[in-house]
Amino acid sequence: MKVPIFTDKEKLTKILDSAGTSPTNLAKQLEVSYMTLWRWLNKDVKPHPRQSRDIDQLFKEYVDLRDIIDSLRKAVKDPLQILKDTPDIRERFILNMTYHSNALEGSRMTIKETQAAIVGEKVKGKETFEILEAINHKNAMRYMFEVINPDFKIDKAYILKLHEIIMYNFNNNLPGKYRSGHVNLTNTEKKLPCVQDVPIRMDKFIKDINTYNNNYVEKIAKDHYAFETIHPFFDGNGRTGRLISATQLLSQGFAPAVIRIEDRYNYYMAMGKGDYGDFSNIVQMICDSIIVGYKLILEEETLTVKGGNHGTEKG
């Protein structure tokens, strides 16, 4: 089964179809010349990364990916069972999600270095904590696959266990415990709750997390935003939050969302829009990332990018 991973050219075509606009108007929206747009559409010329982000922004405004996700869910029965029953697919998935999730938080490990770390090989030129981050994330994912099942109910103990594994041997960050002090969060203007409010906010979050009312993807996207804005831990919030979303999706019959390092800017922008009550971008981002998850499950090639230094922010 061919899973749709959209190129910039495909995104432009779908924008034109969905928005009912002309190429001339689309070029104006993107602040490029008509000839530039024509080259993107007809000559396989690739946009500059900044222009690619603008295209992605319009794509998420005009094209609703939820229909595609619903079709994939109907066509692919029980991705969780596929991952549990097929070690090669499961290990490929663990490698890719570990690499991308850690890279989003500033890991400098390449995909090959991540692979070496999680199978116990030596990784030259990397700090011990970087190697440990890869091993911990792998172990957290293996725990997730071991314990969850269809309609699995997430509770406080499960969330704390995920965090405990992710932050194993990072004792200053209180593995498996809520933060005991204030933290500063970059990439958002939203004020984080004070330490006294964290348990209260998390209790409310957990009480509501297993309720979907058939709006699965939208609910899971909003839950991810809510968890990250509570920021219940000193560190590891991003990695734990993405595994919580993966758990929700798998338990409800979807492939897990794999948010790639190359989508980091769009991811943070989508989360930032949530600060103003606009969740359309984060819903689309989760949809796009679920499609990546289906591709990893269904197709032989892996979805990776060449590693490098992706920044320093931790989460």
Residues with Cβ within 8 Å of residue 44, at least 6 apart in sequence: 9
**For range 101-124, the mean pLDDT:** 96
Q: Nearest-CA neighbor of 314 among 174, 107, 162, 176?
A: 107
DSSP class per residue in 175-208: TTS--SS----SS--PPPPPGGGHHHHHHHHHHH
pLDDT tens digits, one per residue of 159-215: 999 999 999 999 999 999 999 999 877 656 678 999 999 999 999 999 999 999 889
Spatial separation of the C-alpha atoms in residues 77 and 99, rounded to whole Å: 26
Quote the DSSP letter at residue 58: H
pLDDT tens digits, one per residue of 260-269: 999 998 899 9
Spatial separation of the C-alpha atoms in residues 315 and 312, rounded to whole Å: 10
DSSP class per residue in 295-315: HHHH-SS--------------
Instruction: Please say whether the beta carbons of 228 and 241 come within 8 A.
Output: yes
Q: What is the mean pLDDT of the chain?
A: 91
φ/ψ bin of 158: left (φ > 0), alpha (ψ from -120 to 50), beta (otherwise): alpha
State whether residue 165 is helix, strand or coil.
helix
CATH 1.10.3290.10 boundaries in the chain: 76-298
Q: What is the pLDDT of residue 206?
A: 98
Residue 241 has pLDDT above 90, yes or no: yes
CATH 1.10.260 boundaries in the chain: 1-63
Phi, psi (degrees; rounded to nearest 5) at 41: -80, -30
Residue 101 has pLDDT above 70, yes or no: yes
Q: What's the CATH code, domain 1-63?
A: 1.10.260
Spatial separation of the C-alpha atoms in residues 246 and 293, rounded to whole Å: 10
- Residue reference for tokens 């922010």: 313
Q: What is the pLDDT of residue 67?
A: 86
Spatial separation of the C-alpha atoms in residues 92 and 72, rounded to whole Å: 20
* Range among 61-65, 110-114, 180-184, 273-277 rated most confident: 110-114
Residue 10 has pLDDT above 80, yes or no: yes
Domain 76-298 in CATH: superfamily?
Answer: Fido-like domain (1.10.3290.10)
- Residue reference for tokens 């794999």: 258
Spatial separation of the C-alpha atoms in residues 180 and 233, rounded to whole Å: 8
